[in-house]
Every structure is written in structure tokens, then in C-alpha cells.
Amino acid sequence: MNIFFVLLKKEIKELLTRQLLFTIVATLLVFQLIGGLVGSHNKASAARSGIVLLDLDRTALSGRVTKALGGGKAKLTLYAGGGIETALAAPELGAENSFMVIPAGLEGELKAGRPASVEFYSRFKKNASGLGPAMSASRIRRAAQAASAEISAWLLERNAPGLAPAFLMDPAPAREFAVVDGRTAEVSLAQVIGFIQSQTFFFPVAVFFIVILSAQMIMTAVASEKENKTLETLLSSPLDRRLLVMSKLAAASLIAALLSGAYMLGMRSFMAGVTGLGADPSVAVAAAGPALAKLGLMLTTSGYLLVGLSVLFCILCALSIAFILGIMAEDVKSIQAMMTPLMLAYLMPIFIDLSTAHTGLKVLLYAIPFTHAFMAPQNVMMGNYSQVLWGIAYQAAVFAACVTIAARLFSGDALLTMRFRFPGSR
């Protein structure tokens, strides 16, 4: 075992270079910096830009609509200098992108029972980029909904003075219930779906980067040693070939986990700055916590351990497969092409719905060891523990088989002579 740790230390020192450390630190700093800059820019842009309101009707109804919009989060700028053409050309409104016009005669038309329209204008600038146009469209949409609701309430108060407008607009509000494995709870369907997606997609994304980074590192390490003829010296020593294989796999997994952790922390900071939701990704569904717990969707400690075990064997499978591909690679330049099958095998279960796939496709997907890690969080939440355990057992079998193949390749001359040449290569 001491020999294994000596080999592991050697492999980590070879992989953990100054360039790699710089990449880890730079990943954290760049994402943190971009997230902070984008977040502060969006806040400043939201504070500067709002909605320019042109009240051409100047009636009690238009005043009521103006008051309702002024009570919202959007900044409201009243413009009384003319029509929409004048407002669009006004130098003092050059930074504004959203305009709302309450046309003259709106109240009179509605009193007479005739339909009328409130106009909205969105100005798209030639140099517009980033989230500016999307934020402008969101302001217009919220303003349109608020104006429509206020006008509807005004009409209902006139035509049905004895009833509350809110009751008339929604006399029978819908109640949403979720049913999971016989358990029922009143909760928004959007919140349930949002929570399930946050749990079932966060893990695959995190594991994806671990798989790609670790696979690339171990393939590059093996191919470079093979290309530089350093493997010949290593293989001439009286070391157990399985220890060599395991030390390389363990070193690559540790470094890859470090890189992936830096990436995920950086992405977390970036998304917190962009969305303004804070660092906790569960903010959007926090209010539904009791209902989700009642449905049994909240992962327990044992559930997280099962998911973590599935992810661990997923990484080990990826490393062992990549190790064999690295042995087969002709040189370091061919690494990227050799990684393509590994990437496709991992991406397939993410984008294909297993519940609707036909039998042949299901068999193919379940034969891919990464599928079981992708499905583990959802299976744990739904109580399918047996499927998770069978998946872990299958992943362990694939890993053992790949390690055995890699150890046998290391034991013979095939390691030095094996080549996988692409068409057209010399």
C-alpha cells in the first residue's frame, strides 16, 4: 500500500502543475469578477431605465393606471411634451428603451362599450447587447399586465358595484396538488418541477465536467508518456501493473474533482450575480419546502450518500474507459478525437427521456454507465432505491472490467505497440 501512495504522489505532482493551479485560481476569479460586474451593471441599468409614460387621455382612468404602475418596481417617467414621435426623438429620453402610451379617448371608448388599446413601444438600439433587450421586454410585459388588470378592475367596479373586482376577475382560483407515490400535497406544479430539475440537472452538469476533465488529463498523461518513451522505463520496474493503473486513476480523479469544484463555485457566483437570486440555488423553491418534504422529494442524508456513490462509480468508469483510450491513442494530438465517443455516451442520457424511449434505446442507455448517475437523484426522490443500487453494482462491474483490461494491457508489449490510427493519418 505504501508503494501505491508513492505512485499516487508521483502522479499528482506530474498532473498538478503551475499552469493547472493558475487555471483553478483564474476560474474562480474570472467567474466572480464577471458575475459581480454583470450584476452591478444590471442593477444600475434597471435603476436608470424604466418606462416612459405618455398620458394623452388625462382622465380619472388614466390617472388610476398611472398610479398602479407607479406602485410597481419599474421606474416610471411621465412625459408631457407631445406624442410618441416627439418622445422618441427627445434628447433627454435617449437612454430610455420602453414607452407606454395611454391614447386620448381611452376612457370614453370603454364607457361606450367599445374596445380600446394601450400602446407599448420598445426601442432597440444598434449597439444593444447582453441582457438589455430582455430586461426591456420584461418591463413592457409587466407593465402591460398591470395596466390590463387595472382597467379590468375599473370596468368591473362600474358594471358590478356590489362585487369585488378581484372576485369577478378570478371567481374560482385554481388549486394545484402534486401526487407522488400515493402522497398528496398542495403545491405549485412549477415549484415541484423546478425543484426536481434543480436536483436532477445540477448533478449531471457537475459530473460532466469532472468526467471530461479527468478523462482528458488521464488520456493526455498516458499518451504523452507513451509518446515520450517514458513508459518503457516505468514498465521495466518490478511494480504491480494494477498499482500503476490505480495510482493514475486516483490522481486524475482527485485533480479533476478539484478543477470541477472550482468551476462549480465560480459558476455559482456568476449565476448569483447575473440573476440576483443570491448564492443559494434553492431560493426559488424555498417556500415549497414543507410540501416537498410531505411528498418525500427532499433528499435525506442516506439519499445523498447513494447519489454520491453512484456519481463516484460514474467517475471511476469514465476514468477507466479514458485510460484504455489513452493507451490506444497514437499521440497526444489524437486525444480530442478519442474523447468524442466518451462525450457522446455521457450526453445521450441527458437529452433523451427514458420514460418515452423505445425498448431498444432504453437498453442502449442503461448499458451506458453514466446513465445511472444521471438518474440517481430522481430515483432516490421517487423511492426507487433498488434501481439505484443495481445501477451502482453495474457501474462497479464496468469499472472492474475496464481496470482488468487496462492492467492486462500494461502487462504486455501491447501498451507500447498498440496504435489506433484515424483514416488519413500517417
Contacts of 327 (CB under 8 A, 6+ apart): 222, 226, 406, 409, 410, 415, 418
CATH 3.40.1710.10 residue spans of the chain: 49-173
10 beta partners = none
Q: What was the pLDDT predicted at 104? A: 93
User: Which residue carries 456513490 as its cell?
Assistant: 309
The CATH architecture to which 49-173 belongs is 3-Layer(aba) Sandwich (3.40)
Q: What was the pLDDT predicted at 221? A: 74
Going from the C-alpha of 157 to that of each of 67, 144, 336, the distances in angstroms are 17, 20, 68
Q: What was the pLDDT predicted at 283? A: 45
Q: What was the pLDDT predicted at 285? A: 46
Give yes or no for a contact between 122 and 97, defined as CB atoms under 8 angstroms apart.
yes
Q: What was the pLDDT predicted at 200? A: 61
Q: Is 381 exposed, middle or buried (0-12, 13-18, 19+ CB in 10 A)?
A: buried
- Identity at 106, one-letter amino acid code: L
Q: Is 237 exposed, middle or buried (0-12, 13-18, 19+ CB in 10 A)?
A: exposed
The Cα–Cα gap between 239 and 21 comes to 30
Ranges of residues in the chain with a pLDDT under 50 are 277-285, 422, 424-426
